Amino acid sequence: MKFYYPSEQTDSIQNNLSTCKKLSGDQLHDFYFTELKLLNVSKIIPIKNHFGDPGQSHFTTKNNTRVIAQKGSLAVLPCVVKISSPATVSWIRRKDFQLLTVGLSTHSSDKRFLVEHARHMGHWSLRIKSVRESDRGLYECQLSIYPTESIFVELKVVVI
């Protein structure tokens, strides 16, 4: 992401502008709070890049969604994302921080976990086959944009 300064403050930072143009993310944050605060620059404003406004990527699935599944059945944990810039969706099991999926790839040796993706619709559901009681807990659907965004889905397992 690139940044620019409001025109009324540009004159006071001309010496630092060439440095600032080369920075992004944490580097820019550190530069702003160490160098530019000394110049009394009150704000920086993001410029839209060719991928669109990064602030427009968001989840349409509500945070703290609860899914209830019967032991031995299929559980589908929803994650619907509107992505306006290139990003990757990952699923993480929170109790042990096990990375389950990244994009369409499964990173778990447990073959019961699989990502279900509906192309161009933003659906990135996590499918858990033959649900076990030990599967209960929080799962994180993470969007790899800067800064990282996540929602949490709770899986409850019932035994009948």
Give the mean model confidence (pLDDT) for residues 135-158.
95
Residue 103: name the closest of 84, 131, 79, 70 by CA.
Answer: 79
CATH number of 55-158, picked from 3.90.180.10, 3.40.718.10, 3.40.50.12160, 2.60.40.10? 2.60.40.10
Q: Which of 32, 81, 86 is nearest to 58 (CA)?
A: 81
Q: Is residue 102 within 8 Å of residue 90, measured between CB atoms?
A: yes
pTM of this prediction?
A: 0.65
Per-residue pLDDT reduced to its tens digit, 91-145? 999 999 999 999 999 999 999 999 999 878 889 999 999 999 999 999 999 999 8
CA-derived radius of gyration, the chain: 21
Domain residue spans of the chain: 2-47, 55-158
| Cβ-based neighbour number of residue 116 at 10 Å | 15
Percent of the chain with pLDDT over 70: 64
Closest of 134, 142, 143, 139 to residue 152, by C-alpha? 139
Q: In whole numbers, what is the pLDDT of the chain averaged over residues? A: 75
SS3 123: strand
Across 5-136, the runs of DSSP E, i.e. the strands, are 45-47, 58-59, 65-70, 75-77, 81-82, 89-93, 98-102, 105-106, 113-118, 123-128
